[in-house]
Amino acid sequence: MKIFTPDYYKEFLCIAGACPDSCCKEWAVDVDPEAATYYRGLPGPLGDRLRSVLEDTQGGTVMVIENGRCPMWQTDGLCRIHAELGHEALCQTCRDFPRIKHDYGSFAELGLELSCPEAARLILAGSHQQSFTIADGEGDGDYDKDVMDILLRSRKMILSFLDTSSLPDPEAFAVVLLYAHGVQGQIDGGDEIAFEPMQCLADARRFSDAGNLDGLTTFFAGLEILTPDWANMLSGPKQACIYNKKLLHYFICRYWLQAVADYDLISRVKFSLAACILIGSLPGDFMRNAQLFSKEIENDPDNVEAILDGCYSIPALTDSNLLGLLLR
Ligand code: SF4
């Protein structure tokens, strides 16, 4: 099986005590059954502490948050399990984070979660060039091969366009949405389309309206919120949007192929564009805003689902509004 890896993935190293946010804050970590059994069987003070903070829920076992942090977090910013028992003793969630893997059976793609500050730094500054290694265990891939073929070709095309286009960023972003509509038509059984950026842009201008940013922020403010920072940012003043092609590149890499699961490319592209517009419109440090967006939205499956569903019913997520925000 081929495993594709972006350059920035290999550069990742957890900065632990120097981390400005930390994955040990705010989240109740899911503990896999094997680790939960191991932790509960440990002798001594660490075992006693773990037994007191592990909680079984309907979805599995979690490490209960105390004072807004994982109870294993120490004031030096390091993890007590890691410090006393080593990396191998961490549960799967903590061993993996922020590394992600999309396994399509016949090939896999690795990436990093934008919700980790150090990963965000690499994603927004590093090279997205992909290389691959060969690993054992190739399967057939339990997906529609024709659709995957369309998605792979179209993603390559649009990423290359983003990397090389001389259009201003918001216009290039609008082209992405119009092109995605053409690809969606192909997925739905239509003919293959030629990629004509200037035609896409002309269509985008025709479909755009005035663009309502308040509607977009109000929609996000109605989703599940983890941190007061995020709530304050959504309700506070906004700025002229900063567009960042590497951010859109990240979203396209992460979500475009996932349309093979339900044949819905458009919602994922709208999700990606809405994310870029929202993040770019929040005042303050762009990287921090992108990281917080990911922590609040990408790491909450309910929020992701609400946005994907909302692409068909929420006025803020219509083509005309997103295009209006990009092209106004
Ligand atoms: S968020 Fe990232 S850099 Fe920070 S502690 Fe977690 S893995 Fe390390």
**DSSP codes of every residue in 94-160:** HHHTTEEEEE-SSEEEEEE-TTSHHHHHHHHHS---EEEEE-S-----SS-HHHHHHHHHHHHHHHH
Least trusted range by pLDDT, from 62-76, 105-119, 259-273: 62-76
Q: Is the peptide bond before 168 cis (omega within 30 degrees of 0)?
A: no
How high is the pLDDT of residue 72?
95
Quickly state the pLDDT bin for 16 (edges 50, 70, 90). Answer: confident
Nearest-atom index, ligand 1, CA of 118: 3
25 Cα to the center of ligand 1, angstroms? 10
Residues 5-14, buried b or exposed e (16+ Cβ, 10 A)?
A: bbebbeebeb
Does residue 138 register a pLDDT over 70?
no
Residue in 12, 13, 19 to alter for ligand 1 test, most ligand atoms within 8 A of Cβ? 19
pLDDT digits (tens, 9 = 90+) for 90-127: 999 999 999 999 999 889 999 999 999 999 999 999 78
pTM above 0.85, yes or no: yes
Whether 80 and 72 have beta carbons less than 8 Å apart is answered as: yes
Residue in 8, 9, 13, 14 to alter for ligand 1 test, most ligand atoms within 8 A of Cβ? 14
How high is the pLDDT of residue 22?
83
Whether 179 and 203 have beta carbons less than 8 Å apart is answered as: no
| Residue 270, C-beta contacts closer than 8 angstroms, at least 6 positions apart | 177, 311, 317, 319, 322
What is the Cα–Cα distance from 36 to 51, expressed in whole angstroms?
9
How high is the pLDDT of residue 134?
86
Residue nearest to atom 3 of ligand 1 (CA): 14
Q: Looking at residues 127-140, what average pLDDT do you find?
A: 80
Do the strands 54-57 and 29-31 form a parallel or antiparallel pair, or are they unpaired?
unpaired
pLDDT digits (tens, 9 = 90+) for 247-265: 999 999 999 999 999 999 9
Question: What percent of the chain clears pLDDT 90, i.e. is strictly above it?
Answer: 84
